[in-house]
Structure 1
Amino acid sequence: MSNDLKLALVVSDSIKAQEGAGPLRDAHDWVPAGEAEALVVLGGDGFMLHVLHEMLDKNWIRPCYGINLGTVGFLMNKNSHKRTIAERIGRARKIGVRPLEMRAVTQDDDEFSFYAINEVSLLRETRQTAKLEVKINGKVRMAELAGDGVLVSTPAGSTAYNLSANGPILPLGCNMLALTPISPFRPRRWKGAILPDSAEVEFRVREPGKRPVSVVADQKEIRDVRDVRISTARDKELTLLFDPGASLEERIFAEQFQA
């Protein structure tokens, strides 16, 4: 990537990010986001997801180089001053991330559509167990999944909620999705499935009045859903930039060998 790339600086409102932005503001000739060829994002993973979602919503997609001034920083690079920001981006490796498109219909027949970079989760709203019919490419694969819920995860999101729910870690570029139950009651021994990212996954809520279910696409929630359809948004591929040797792919490998 060229060192004379037009860059925009996007900073989280957190105190840590605002203070960390000080040295960077005078270290480069920044341009407005609308004129930029790439964005430098200062903050944590949550803020990076916020920026990526804003780009998806506006259909204005640019490569993003994150600098971790948050907590975990799984999607970010280390905050280092050994090289200039232009040099770091010039050496950065590109990683493509395909989001999911979630389309939901509520019990009142309202329709919603959101994107998810990590995962789409269906969750019970009350103490009543959720009961879901699971379809893959239009074919019923499970007539009734009973439990706290279920999620569909991208490879980029497979180390987040999916991993906490005992789902598999997916390598980047594998073109697969993880379908993972959340505290399943029936079938009790079902551990989920790995699906090609060309698959369309559908859920129908059984007894929605008695057993209400919400759906969450990353941070956006719709309550009292009746039907949910999930597919990969191939035309909305995002690009994250990582320092050599510290890519998202390497972090996913590392997660699989932690004691």
Structure 2
Amino acid sequence: MQTDSIAFVAAETKIAQDAMYRLKHRYGHIPPDKADVIVALGGDGFMLESLHRYMGRKVPIYGMNRGTVGFLMNEFREIDLPERIAEAQTVELHPLQMEAHTVSGESMCALAINEVSLLRETRQAAKLRIKVDGVERLAELVCDGALVCTPAGSTAYNLSAHGPILPMGSGLLALTPISPFRPRRWRGALLPHGAEVVFEVQNPEKRPVSAVADYTEVRDVSRVKIVEDRSMKIRLMFDPEHNLEERILKEQFVE
């Protein structure tokens, strides 16, 4: 791809800001809305913010790790950046759309690249009814919460909740309970990526639940619908020797 016009964006940390200053000095800089590619400098949290911010612009994002874990980032190096971008592999992702309805009658929509999660707000366990494509699959899940994640997000919160890691291109979503109490032995389900998942909160006034799409939170929800938004496309770029598919595969063999 063309690498003549590169935009640099960075997290607020000193290490990320210093890296952006040096890269701008070496390669120049143009605004993100006029760039062929956006280089994001920071950690996975900043990458998620960048993907949300520039999602509608159809510009690929190449991340370099100036954070902690950097699962969604490439290794940071100042030299040969245009060559690395030219040789990078592009992964296309589709976000999840959350439609949340609250006890007070309000509704809100938000997009999630990693996952949509429901979490109890108080010491009372949440009680959730789960429907998939209009069919009730679980009449009552007593739990701390539950989540639906994409393959890209399957190594994040989902993995911490003992959910499965999903390979890129698997065409699957993971539905994973968080600290389930009843049914105690239910460990979740694998769903086709086109499935519509609906959570209905039982007795939400006594057992309040919040819904979170990546970092957008809605409190006191009564009903949450989750579908993959195929109209939205996210393009992430990775060095060939360390692409996202390889990272997801590698995570499955970590002790």
Shorter-chain TM-score category? over 0.9
Task: Give RMSD over aligned pairs.
Answer: 1.0
Return the offset for 1:37. 2.0
Q: Which residue of 2 aligns with 1:171?
A: 167
Q: Which residue of 1 aligns with 2:243?
A: 247
Q: What does the per-residue CA deviation read over 1:166-202, in whole Å, with 9 as the maximum and x for residues that have no partner?
A: 0000001111000000000110000100000100000
Q: Confirm or deny: 8 A CA contact 1:27 1:84 kept in the other structure.
A: no
3-state SS of paired residue (2:250): helix
Q: What does the per-residue CA deviation read over 1:207-228, in whole Å, with 9 as the maximum and x for residues that have no partner?
A: 0011000001111111000000
Q: Which residue of 1 aligns with 2:75?
A: 78
3-state SS of paired residue (1:103): strand
* TM alignment of 1:42-191, pairs within 5 A: 42-56=41-55, 59-81=56-78, 83-191=79-187
Unaligned runs of 5+ in 2: none
Unaligned runs of 5+ in 1: none
* Residue 199 of structure 1 pairs with residue 195 of structure 2: yes
Q: Confirm or deny: 8 A CA contact 2:9 2:20 kept in the other structure.
A: no
Larger mean CA deviation between 187-196 and 28-37 belongs to: 28-37
Code of the aligned partner of 2:90: K
Structure 1: how far apart are the matches of 2:243 and 2:93?
12
Structure 1: how far apart are the matches of 2:119 and 2:237?
33
Q: Confirm or deny: 8 A CA contact 1:12 1:18 kept in the other structure.
A: yes
Return the offset for 1:99. 0.7
Identity %: 53
3-state SS of paired residue (2:57): coil
Q: Which residue of 2 aligns with 1:9?
A: 8
Code of the aligned partner of 1:176: L
Structure 1: how far apart are the matches of 2:32 and 2:2?
18
TM-score by length of 1: 0.96
3-state SS of paired residue (1:184): coil
Larger mean CA deviation between 29-38 and 151-160 belongs to: 29-38
3-state SS of paired residue (1:39): strand
Structure 1: how far apart are the matches of 2:223 and 2:58?
29
Structure 1: how far apart are the matches of 2:103 and 2:21?
49
TM-score by length of 2: 0.98
Count matched residues: 255
